[in-house]
Amino acid sequence: MSDMFRIVFIVGFGATVAGIILHCVALGLAKGRRWTAQEILRKLVSLFMLLFVEQKLNPVRVLRKLLYLLALLCFAVLAITGFFPLLALDEHISGYLVMVHATFAPVLAVCLAVLAVMWSPHCHFARGDWPWFDRLVHRATLAKGADKDAHSKSSGVGQKITFWLIVILALPLMSSIILSMFPIFGTRGQEFHLNVHRYTALVFALAAIAHTYLIVRSQIE
């Protein structure tokens, strides 16, 4: 099972990284941008500045950013402690890694719950998120097109998709590991729930990486 998971992890992680690189290259070519040393340095400085809280932010946005940074920290710790033993050592998580994993997991769960409430009003899907679908419907029904403002492209559609994917995946991710602790399901049931937790955690991690990339890109552009 670990060999199969290792293959799925490599393929999924490789595809995600490749997609991010291709997205950066495509946007760079579309804008005719030249990646000079000065441009790269400016991007790195902008990326570093994202770790700080701007004074112009209101208290709600400050809280949201702090929770997001805390969630990223917890996510990094959980990803390392959860994936490293299985991928590098070919063994299940145990010892101090379990203690660290179990300590950061509830913190991440609380952060996700609060962020889901705070971010959901900004992540509802609007008509302008799918201009191609609207054009297809109007073309098929021969209806008059809507105003251009209604069809304006939403640069955050990718952020919205990955956000809701993270929120949805958090439910089986947490419930599967909780259910695996109960002996009433037997050995096979526990193994099943552990496998669900493992593969859900992988998809959750890939969605979190993609969401973080889209958030960072929107902030440093």
State the CATH number of the domain containing residue 50: 1.20.950
Q: What is the mean pLDDT of the chain?
A: 81
Domains in the chain, number: 1
Question: Does 118 map to a domain?
Answer: yes
Domain presence at residue 110: yes
This model's pTM is above 0.75: yes
Contact yes or no for 78/104 (Cβ under 8 A): yes
Domain range enclosing 203 = 2-122+155-220
Q: What are phi and psi of 129, to 5 degrees?
A: -70, -25
Question: In this structure, is residue 138 part of a structural domain?
Answer: no
> Tens of pLDDT along the chain (221 residues)?
567 888 999 999 999 999 998 988 887 777 666 666 666 677 677 766 666 666 677 788 888 889 999 999 999 999 999 998 888 878 888 889 999 999 999 999 999 999 999 888 888 877 666 665 566 655 666 554 444 444 444 447 888 899 999 999 999 999 999 888 888 888 888 889 989 999 999 999 999 999 999 988 887 76
Alpha carbon 67 to its chain centroid, in Å, reads: 15
Distance CA 82, CA 23 (A): 28
Can you tell me the distance from the alpha carbon of 97 to that of 142, in angstroms, rounded to the nearest whole number?
61
Tokens of 184: 């009433």
